Amino acid sequence: MYAVIESGGKQYRVAIGDKLKVEKLTVAAGDSVNLDRVLMIADGDDVTVGSPLIESPVTATVVSHGKKDKIKVFKMKRRKNYRRTRGHRQDYTEIEITGIGGAVAAPKKAVPAKAEKPVEAPATADNGDDLTTINGIGPVIAKKLVALDITTFQQIADLDEQQIADIDEQLNFKGRIDREEWVDQAKKLIG
């Protein structure tokens, strides 16, 4: 069911529950208002067109009052040294449609709470350590190390210079293992 109403010289197609901004009305926020300039009401295939208006009003609740975004009006006449700039903010009233003709809005249902995203487990093998406890290793780097079958603190502690250079080259770490002292941190976590 919907209706076509006129307010402030403009026409709006509204349904029950719609919120819209119309020209400023002199009604306090939270009050109910009858919009009696109804041009048409449609309920499925049953369409009633006014000549020019329909007697059954559309009821709405005033949600808030405000001002729209500022627009700039600029006038200029070239070669005449004439330039004028003016700003304007139009007042509006935000309303929510609560009834059309005899039909009224159903009570609002409670909005269900959003489901939380499951927390991803850290990237470890079945019997490996949580490599993200080492400073400088995050979840992305931990996944890369697991892909190279490095899953425990002991494996990191046992790395020699050649193995560190190979890992640096494969994963493009640019000396990160030595710079952030992963081997020393792993030895501290073991013992």
Domain boundaries, the chain: 2-104, 131-190
106 is written with which tokens?
């159903």
pLDDT band at 126 (very low <50, low <70, confident <90, very high): low
Average pLDDT of the segment spanning 19-24 = 96
CA–CA dist 84, 74 (Å, integer): 6
pLDDT at 110 over 60: no
pLDDT band at 125 (very low <50, low <70, confident <90, very high): very low
Its pTM stands at 0.52
Arithmetic mean of pLDDT over the chain: 85
Residues 6+ apart with CB under 8 A from 59: 32, 33, 34, 35, 97, 98, 99, 104
Return the pLDDT at 105.
Answer: 66
